[in-house]
Amino acid sequence: MVESIDPNDEHKATVTNTDPSVPLDTVIPLGSSVQPADYLALPFNVLAINVPVDVTLQGSNTWLSPNHSITIKGAGIYMVESIDPNDEHKATVTNTGAFGNSLPGAHIARGSIVQPADYLAAPFTVPNKNAHVRIALQGSATWPKPNHSITVEGAGI
């Protein structure tokens, strides 16, 4: 759980360990992926490159920001075009045509993971459950918000 963002450096956050399954003092290495815990609420079909498509998330999309890249599992890398001001679960995204993106017509299932492209900029050690630890991110780092859950590869959190 994100507790706070460093007001002097948006790439640094204080998080609370809420996952007791990861052993205490596990060192999480540099470059581990960091992502909000969010999933598609509705399926969609991949459209052509540069064609916008509406997506609906199960949780809040408050971590999304226009003009930032996200990864949709099974679909590839998309650019966030806009956020629906009337529904916090909906956003319009565009297929970037990045290498490895699914071809137009591919069906992307409900429950597919949606995440920004961000990674740890420094390793950290897993603290006791409900204890805080500071993490450093590389990338846009505009999505972590206090009181939102995140997943750190290998750490749970």
Domain with 109 in it: what CATH number? 2.40.10
Whole-number Å distance between alpha carbons of 104 and 117? 22
| Structural element, H or E, at residue 144 | none
C-alpha radius of gyration, the chain, whole number: 16
Q: For residue 89, give every residue at least 6 positions away whose Cβ sits within 8 Å of its Cβ, in sequence order, or none.
A: 41, 56, 57, 58, 59, 60, 61
Beta bridge partners of residue 36, listed in sequence order: 150
Residue 92's nearest CA partner among 57, 143, 48, 117 is 57
CB 151 within 8 A of CB 143: no
pLDDT digits (tens, 9 = 90+) for 17-43: 766 677 777 777 776 766 665 789 999
43 and 101 both lie in a single domain: yes
Q: What is the pLDDT of residues 74-131, one digit of tens each?
A: 998 888 999 999 987 899 999 989 888 999 999 999 988 888 766 677 787 887 877 7
Are 27 and 47 found together in one domain?
no
For 71, the token pair is 């990864």
Cα–Cα distances (Å) from 114 to 34, 61, 96, 124, in that order, read 12, 10, 15, 24
Same domain, 134 and 101: no
**What is the reported pLDDT for 143?**
61
Q: Two tokens at 123?
A: 């390793």
Segments forming the whole domain that contains residue 17: 2-33+119-152
> Could you tell me if 74 and 87 lie in one domain?
yes
Mean pLDDT on 51-72: 84
